[in-house]
Chain A
Amino acid sequence: MAKVDNFKEFVYIDPQKKMILLKALGYDLDARGFVVDNTRRRVICKYTRRPVHFNEASILPGSTVIINTNPVSLSSYIEEYLEN
């Protein structure tokens, strides 16, 4: 994916809106609260290499990329998509 243009900021998203956005992007949750794709496979965070739990999910700008939220994965994301 190319660099993200016109990025403004990271904002908090409450669980209700997060669920709506995830659904809109084609995701759902399994019985244990992990995010699954439209084939019902758990989504794996590209940085932590672990399944993404709903409570830990960040949804990243202008894409369908979702990751587990921690400083290292956010830093990796920023490096890959926002830094020049």
Chain B
Amino acid sequence: MTPDNTEPDINKILANAAIIGLENIGKRTFDTIKKAWLRIDITSRYGFTITQDEANTLNDIAKNPTYIAFKSAIGTKSPFTRFIKVGLLLYELNSRGEKDRVKEIRSEIYNSQYSNRYVQKIIHIASTGVLLHILDYLTYFKDTNKLSDYAIREEFKRILRIWQEIGVPVKKEDNETTIKNNIQSLITKKVPIIIVYASESAVPRAHLAIADLSNKKVFVGKYILWSKNLTLSGFNQFLGLLYASDTGLDSPFG
């Protein structure tokens, strides 16, 4: 869509001004540019940046229904949502093969004022492609258990804190028995939540392992299964999430 002809097009105005040259631009032209830029009744507004692809991807992520639902579920401004979008951006860049840029952004964040264990974990989990599923699960979990916004914020933080203990990444070389053993070892440890995730060729084996354990009633009385398949940035993914039947979060106040 091009801007309506009746509206001043800031891109054209700037292009014309550039032809005149900065040193030759008078006050009137500067005023026209400012007026066009700040006009409130304009139908197409632009942001000018040096990394337009990343900015537009971040803006698209902000419109993702799962992200929006999660934001609504946590109910208030969270210090983490901006990093969730950046994490999802990194996953997207990685999927496009822009590995050097991913490394650069990750290193900037880890060495910045923003860096803390939660932020680092969000970036890490997002890089596995599983973050959106976790947000989806938390929204579902809130609705099903009628939990408060606060409880969901805390549950998200808990998942970030204990991720190393509860995550079961299924590698492409893992066979069904290995996956089942990994899950059963966490069940023995009575961890509050188990997150099994797989991508591409590992997806069917992760499915089969969980289905087999479920058929053998291994989860009964201990864990409730929530699972999801989806395609993210062109990759097939699976998330099998087992949460303890006794969550400790059944109060509306968390």
On A, residues with C-beta under 8 Å from B are: 4-14, 16-21, 23-26, 48-49, 55-56, 58-64, 69-72, 74-76, 78-79, 82-84
Q: A62-B38, A75-B58, A82-B59 are in contact. Are A8 and B44 (CB under 8 A)?
A: yes
Q: Is the CB of B38 within 8 A of A20?
A: no
Chain B min CB distance to A53 (Å): 11
Among B106-114, B169-177, B199-207, the stretch that binds chain A is B106-114
Contact with A along B33-68 (1 / 0, CB 8 A): 110011110111111111110111011001000001
Interface residues of B in 1-29 (CB under 8 A from A): 1, 11, 14-15, 17-18, 22, 25
Chain B min CB distance to A55 (Å): 8
Q: Which residues of B contact A75 (CB under 8 A)?
A: 58, 82-83, 85-86, 89
Q: Which residues of A contact B17 (CB under 8 A)?
A: 17, 20
Q: Within the complex, which residue of B34, B40, B85, B109 is in contact with A24, where a contact is CB–CB below 8 Å?
A: B34
Q: Which interface residue of B54, B105, B108 has the most chain A CB atoms within 10 A?
A: B54
Q: Which residues of B contact A18 (CB under 8 A)?
A: 48
Q: A17-B18, A24-B30, A24-B33 are in contact. Are A59 and B82 (CB under 8 A)?
A: no
Q: Is the CB of B44 within 8 A of A71?
A: no
Tell me whether chain A's interface is mostly helix, strand or loop, or mixed.
mixed
Asked if B94 lies at the interface with its beta carbon under 8 angstroms from chain A, I say no
On B, residues with C-beta under 8 Å from A are: 1, 11, 14-15, 17-18, 22, 25, 30-31, 33-34, 37-40, 42-52, 54-56, 58-59, 62, 68, 71, 81-83, 85-86, 89, 105, 108-109, 112-114
Chain B min CB distance to A79 (Å): 5
Q: Is the CB of A6 within 8 A of B47?
A: no
Q: Is the CB of A79 within 8 A of B50?
A: no
Q: Other than the known A20-B18, A69-B51, A78-B58, what 20 A-B pairs have Cβ atoms closer than 8 Å?
A: A6-B43, A6-B44, A9-B59, A11-B11, A11-B47, A17-B15, A17-B17, A17-B18, A20-B14, A58-B49, A62-B40, A64-B38, A71-B58, A71-B109, A74-B54, A75-B82, A79-B62, A79-B81, A79-B85, A83-B71
Q: Is the CB of B59 within 8 A of A10?
A: yes
Chain A min CB distance to B150 (Å): 20
Q: Which interface residue of A16, A18, A60, A71 has the most chain B CB atoms within 10 A?
A: A71
Q: A7-B45, A10-B59, A24-B34 are in contact. Are A72 and B112 (CB under 8 A)?
A: yes
Q: A6-B44, A10-B55, A60-B47 are in contact. Are A19 and B108 (CB under 8 A)?
A: no
Q: Which residues of A contact B55 (CB under 8 A)?
A: 10, 58, 74, 78
- Kindly state the separation between the CA atoms of A10 and B46 in the bound complex, as whole angstroms: 6
Q: Is the CB of B62 within 8 A of A62?
A: no
